[in-house]
Amino acid sequence: MAYDRSDPRSQLAPASSGQTAYAGPFYPAQFGCFYDSAPQITGKGERTWLTRGMNFLVAYTDAEEGAGLTREDQPDEYVLLVPDEDTRVRIEAGGQSKEIGGNTLTIIPPGKSSITTLAGGRLVRMLTTRSEDLAARCGNADAYDDGRRNIPAFKPWPEPPSGYKIRSYDLDIPRQPGRFGRIFRCTTFMVNVLDPQMGPRDTTKLSPHHHDDFEQGSLALDGSFTHHLRWPWTTNLDVWREDEHAHVASPSLTVIPPPSIHTSRGMEAGLNQLIDIFSPPRADFSKQPGWVLNADDYPEPTD
């Protein structure tokens, strides 16, 4: 890992030095450019784009007032991000009904649930690929037909001690020195709503790093980003991959595969907003005091 000393991630323990411990095959990044493709679901006041990773998928929706998003038999918890202040929704799940405003992140329990748009805007749902109906409709639905040899089987984190219920969190949280973004977790996801970046990222303070065995979803909501990716060189030239410097606008989802070295740079003069997604949650981020803002609601695994 290579982090500037001002980056809170410089506090993390070093990743394994065995960048070439996994000898391949190496897999490509996945790109869902929602701004430049047709939605997979249309009608009834919604346009929804779907892109998946190995364990998770993102459903990005432009929702009009009155649009409804339902799950009849959801197998596990999922996350709803409502990024815009003026958007409002009503969520019904687990015998509860709550009206939720914008600039919030909400965790919705398994089973039957519905999201009704009271004031239109952007809605982002994050679900595991156990939601097979949505996984099958993703724009890259066949990208994982052969699996991923270097990603372990998905294992959810422990259930919340007080039980499943609608849990909503306000994202109006000031920056804090030593804390990395605004991180929330549940049984299925860790989501980091990164602090807003105004203007292009300083090219002398990039953060090239890698993950041994999990993907990172990078959801661009505003601005544009260049995702720089480099794969290890091994003794087998046949599995080498060319470097990528992929420029994407917003909205878009980039799924970064392990063990590629990667870093992302916001490019626009105005707001560049990125959301990082991990499924299941990350243990290393969870062990940093004060980083996970809802840690009291969701325990870490005992093993």
pLDDT digits (tens, 9 = 90+) for 150-175: 999 999 999 999 999 999 999 999 99
Residue 92 Cα distances to 84, 114, 128, 129, 141, angstroms: 20, 5, 20, 22, 29
The pTM score is 0.94
Cβ 195 vs Cβ 4: under 8 Å: no
Beta-carbon contacts of 146 under 8 Å, excluding residues fewer than 6 positions away, are none
pLDDT at 13 over 70: no
* Percent of the chain residues past pLDDT 90, beyond the cut: 92
**Model confidence at 1, in pLDDT bands (50, 70, 90)?**
low
What are the tens digits of pLDDT across the range 103-148? 999 999 999 999 999 999 999 999 999 999 999 999 999 999 999 9
8-286 CATH fold: Jelly Rolls (2.60.120)
Beta-carbon contacts of 120 under 8 Å, excluding residues fewer than 6 positions away, are 45, 62, 63, 64, 65, 67, 87
Cβ 200 vs Cβ 295: under 8 Å: no
Q: What pLDDT score was predicted for residue 112?
A: 98
List the domain boundaries for the chain: 8-286
CB atoms within 10 A of CB 198: 12
| Average pLDDT for 261-267 | 98
Task: Give the integer Cα–Cα distance in Å for 86 and 122.
Answer: 10
The two three-digit tokens of residue 82, written as one number: 């409502």
The two three-digit tokens of residue 65, written as one number: 């007032």
**Model confidence at 8, in pLDDT bands (50, 70, 90)?**
confident
- Return the ∠ at Cα 173 (arms to 168 and 178), rounded to 5°: 120
3-state helix, strand, coil in the chain (%, to 5): 5, 40, 55
- Across the chain, which distance is largest between two alpha carbons, in Å? 57
Residue 245 Cα distances to 138, 250, 262, 266, 273, angstroms: 24, 16, 10, 13, 19
- Residues in the chain, total: 303
pLDDT at 20 over 50: no
